Structure 1
């Protein structure tokens, strides 16, 4: 490949050492990391997540080249598009809709993909093109097809890939459908979060192929890295999770914001009231924790919203997606939680039962959970695919 003007830069070298020390970057991926710097795929104006400010900030390469390069070589996510391209100006927009992921996450997923030279790879979500270029460096010319749903993002990625000399075919289309023209694939990787995996990917994969995708439930925005292996009879794909992440969602699977008034037009007093001794931390702790992931698996078609704490009290809401069932737990310092719920489902009861289920099984981490995809749908399981339930 050509155009490696930034390789060997001190910041790039420090990033590589940090990624190796943290276990994200393995020795076999060091050549690709060295030859294919992320900076070659980032736009003039970008919005890196500034850890000290805890928000995305605008950084221009022409206006502040030192900061631009420093963020390019930092292990932070960088937004490259807001609001599906409708955004204008330099300040962040409303919703981030394309980005360059944290390098540590990129290489964790590439490690899970276990891709080899000469293998055919389908990537869902081209983004900046950096991930596709890394894959092309590993697999060789003509082996990577990347599908991007956004036309403007597609064109920018094509330009960046051409400039870097990366031999990648970028297709403007719906990655949920895959790209049968390039099949069969040995590896399929998605760079967007999904709530339902398409069986089309299994149909386009070889037996024994590996599918890696950020997957989760509508319970929260959190995902986990699903690593599925296509069965020899090509009738299913199954595997376990490799830890938590968070990705922008596949556009066709984005969940519209919950309209609270559609569920609770007046006050919570219209619901059935009870109390609970369940700890607030079970619902407000680490948003990437295995407990919240398990709750999402065990309380299907439900959105959890944790409100801000005010005057020593915090409401935690549950909204059903198949009907207008809702629940609210009001946690107050030094007091028993008050709970209201209404509708055909008792969502608080479901949540408490799911939490008890998780605790009774030893609080299993993400890695003990698995996912199986068949032509009729997807199911989750714990420890063994035989212990499955539909999700």
Structure 2
């Protein structure tokens, strides 16, 4: 009979190994945050979770608990540098008879620790600073901040009451009592402000003005900008006076789930009629929409668009780029050679906008996203290239 491992001893050893791994990759850089990683028991925040499998076909997740896989394996997985899913499609998981889940949409998780600690390091906190966290999730990152700064200095907002309740229970088990708020994270938490730092663990289409107003001048906001097609990157802004903030994209990789209040409409939009719009050739095919560099420009140029491909009756693939907010569209079909045909219509010529942005980007030497910055004012938010006086793109309005 296999002996059941001592949870506390095994977990402590796994935390030290995780800290070594994160430090070895350069993500965990300061002794204060390392002490937090070594102290906070992540397994208490992921007692039950799903992990993505490598099965072909639809994306599939498999359930993991101590009862299902054994205490040792559960702990091993809890301390891997992976994102562990704790909710799908905004609904609670039925753990009475857990089964693999396919084709669902994750809506809450414990983010991979390497990203968590990278963001915490990038937050540039000092002792006793007041921090506002947007998106409590499982509560693991909240606990790390409580350990580093003191629970009395941490406020965390979670929009989902069930997710918030689980986080509160886990935090209490670990001896942490931060200010936890159930509500709209985009509205912040004015009762705990002003804050020295604001950190968001969800993606946003723009920086809510409330976050700027609730941050003291000189404070920092760290958040992932993303759109309905893809992430733009992690931005860090310094807050000034009169509702202004400015900063830069400091990393390309983060791709958090978008804030539920800013999620895309369920409908992609109306398909255009076959004879609708004007047609021309273009050297750019639909691949550029999903490539890392040109996809970044596509998200800037067409902030409200989404795309998909489906075959016509004759089998020819058609890629539809649709803006459900104003019914603008572009339809791409293969043409002779390496060219494509684009048919576009509506109040905005979507493909023209994308080609202008690509031309600007190529003229500048095809710079990486980390050469872009952001300016936030009460009336406009813009992403700019290299300096605020350079080429710029307007972010979607706050809704």
Give the TM-score, by structure 2 length: 0.86
Matched with 2:322 is 319
Number of the residue aligned with 1:82 = 88
Does residue 165 (structure 1) correspond to residue 163 (structure 2)? The answer is no
Q: Which residue of 1 aligns with 2:349?
A: 346
Could you say which residue in structure 1 is the equivalent of 2:45?
41
TM superposition shift of 1:385? 2.0
- Equivalent of 1:183 in 188, 193, 197: 193
1:129 Cα offset (Å): 0.3
Which of the numbers 263, 266, 290 marks the counterpart of 2:271? 263
Match of 2:246 in 1: 238
Kindly report the root-mean-square deviation, in angstroms, between the aligned alpha carbons of the 2 structures. Answer: 2.7
Number of residue-to-residue matches in the alignment? 379
User: Would you say the 8 A contact 2:204–2:225 is kept in 1?
Assistant: yes
2:151 alignment partner, SS class: coil
Task: Output the CA distance in 1 between the equivalents of 2:20 and 2:336.
Answer: 44
1:30 and 2:39 matched: no
Which residue is 1:224 aligned to?
A: 233
Secondary structure of the corresponding residue to residue 294 of structure 1: helix
CA shift, 1:277, in A, is: 1.9
Q: In the TM superposition, what is the alpha-carbon distance from 1:337 to its structure 2 partner?
A: 1.7
Whether contact under 8 Å (2:226, 2:255) holds in the other structure is no
**CA distance change for structure 1 residues 307 and 75 in 2, over 3 Å: closer, same or farther?**
farther
Match of 1:63, SS state, is: helix
TM-score calculated relative to the size of structure 1: 0.88
- 2:165 is paired with a residue of what secondary structure? helix
Q: Matched residues in 2 for 1:111 and 1:313: separation?
A: 49
Q: Secondary structure at the match of 1:193?
A: strand
Distance 1:104 1:356 in 2: 35
For 2:20 and 2:108, locate their aligned partners in 1 and report how far apart those are by CA, in whole Å: 27
**CA offsets 1:121-167 (integer angstroms, 9 cap, x no match):** 01111000000111111112310011111111111101100111123
Shift of residue 238 of structure 1?
0.9
Identify which of 136, 141, 149 aligns with 1:131.
141
Structure 2 distance, partners of 1:35, 1:133, is: 10
Decide whether the 8 Å contact of 2:328 with 2:350 is kept in 1.
Answer: yes
Matched residue SS, 1:181 = helix
Is 1:283 equivalent to 2:289 in the alignment? Answer: yes
- SS of equivalent residue, structure 2 residue 216: strand
Distance 2:365 2:30 in 1: 35
CA displacement 1:11-61 (0-9 Å, x = unmatched): x444333322222221332111111132221132x1123457664322222
1:248-280: CA deviation from partner (whole Å, max 9, x where unpaired): 1111111123435x232x54x544332222255
For residues 81 and 276 of structure 1, do their structure 2 counterparts lie closer, same or farther at Cα, with a shift above 3 Å needed? same
Task: Report deviation, 1:118.
Answer: 0.4
1:365: Cα distance to partner?
A: 1.1
Distance 1:390 1:252, change over 3 A: same
Q: 1:352 to 1:307 in 2, by over 3 A?
A: farther
Counterpart Cα distance in 1 of 2:42 and 2:336: 46
Gaps of 5+ in 1: none
